[in-house]
Amino acid sequence: MLSFEERLTKAVTLLKSSENLAAFTGAGISTESGISDFRSKGGVWDRYRIVTYQEFISSHEARVEYWKMKKELYTEIKDAKPNRAHLALAELEHMGKLKCLITQNIDGLHQDSGSSHVIELHGTNRKAVCLDCGKMWPIAEVQTWLEQGIIDPSCDKCNGHVKPATISFGQSMPEAEMIKAFQCAASCDLFLMIGSSLQVEPAASIPREAHNSNARLIYINRTETPTDNLADVCFSENASQVLDELIRLLKSGNNTT
């Protein structure tokens, strides 16, 4: 097992030689911003059951329950700020290193931190969408409807069901985003994974796609993943700390060459 310093040196060497860096983020990058992982205990996910997409479409009661949970979750989403790990990825983009950022998160914190090339695999919690006509609203607007007592919001244009623009359990993944994510993984020369346990699909397959296309892999995650063996370097340290150090080393290297 290499020391933290040795792993940093190895990772920064990979970063320096990379000309097409891709990043992939999961819930672990946002926990420092106060966004609860739905698997973590005591969060809103413990108090509400999961409403599937099929239930949402077919049942008024399920929609009421779903929106009640979302109403409670709103404060957590509204108050969340990007942390240093989000900012580091935005900086890597501005440095010209990072070409694409794939995220499983729905919190919008990558965009808040200044990243522009973000592929949101699970949609976004920042907007709501009419499932029939596709009309969209900022989630803040729908929150005001909920606070006015509307318990099952419907579209003012077509009366369709309004749902946060996220991918729910039982809902198929967005095709265009999936294609872009796999293209990005297949074309990068270095793949930086942060904060995902890579337990579920498609999360598990995306780094594998990068590996099969001869990219090098850096993993930053608190726990082991099923594909740690594919990674050139693995960090279990805090993502903010690791990324801060990598950027510092990357910049100091640029000054001397």
Q: So which residues are the catalytic ones?
A: 122
Considering the complex, state which of residue 136 and residue 146 has its C-beta at the smaller distance from Zn ion. Answer: 136
| Residue 128 sits in the site that holds Zn ion (CB under 5 A) | no
C-alpha 148/C-alpha 75 separation (Å) is: 16
| Residue 202 sits in the site that holds Zn ion (CB under 5 A) | no
For residue 252, what are the contacts with CB-CB under 8 A and spacing of at least 6?
none
For residue 153, what are the contacts with CB-CB under 8 A and spacing of at least 6?
67, 128, 142, 145, 146, 161, 162
| Residue 157 sits in the site that holds Zn ion (CB under 5 A) | yes
Binding window for Zn ion (CB under 5 A); candidates: 109-117, 130-138, 177-185, 187-195:
130-138
Considering the complex, state which of residue 63 and residue 110 has its C-beta at the smaller distance from Zn ion. Answer: 63
Backbone Cα Rg of the chain: 19
Residue with tokens 């063996």: 229
| Residue 156 sits in the site that holds Zn ion (CB under 5 A) | no
- Secondary structure element (H or E) that encloses residue 166, with its range: strand 162-166
Enter the tokens of residue 200.
């579920």
| Residue 64 sits in the site that holds Zn ion (CB under 5 A) | no
DSSP category for residue 171: S
| Residue 158 sits in the site that holds Zn ion (CB under 5 A) | yes
User: At closest approach, how far in Å is the CB of 156 from Zn ion?
Assistant: 8
| Residue 142 sits in the site that holds Zn ion (CB under 5 A) | no
| Residue 133 sits in the site that holds Zn ion (CB under 5 A) | yes
Strand 162-166 relative to strand 123-130: parallel, antiparallel, unpaired? antiparallel
Query: Residues binding Zn ion: what is the number (CB under 5 A)?
Result: 8
Considering the complex, state which of residue 158 and residue 179 has its C-beta at the smaller distance from Zn ion. Answer: 158
- Site for Zn ion, rule CB under 5 A: 130, 132-133, 135, 155, 157-158, 160
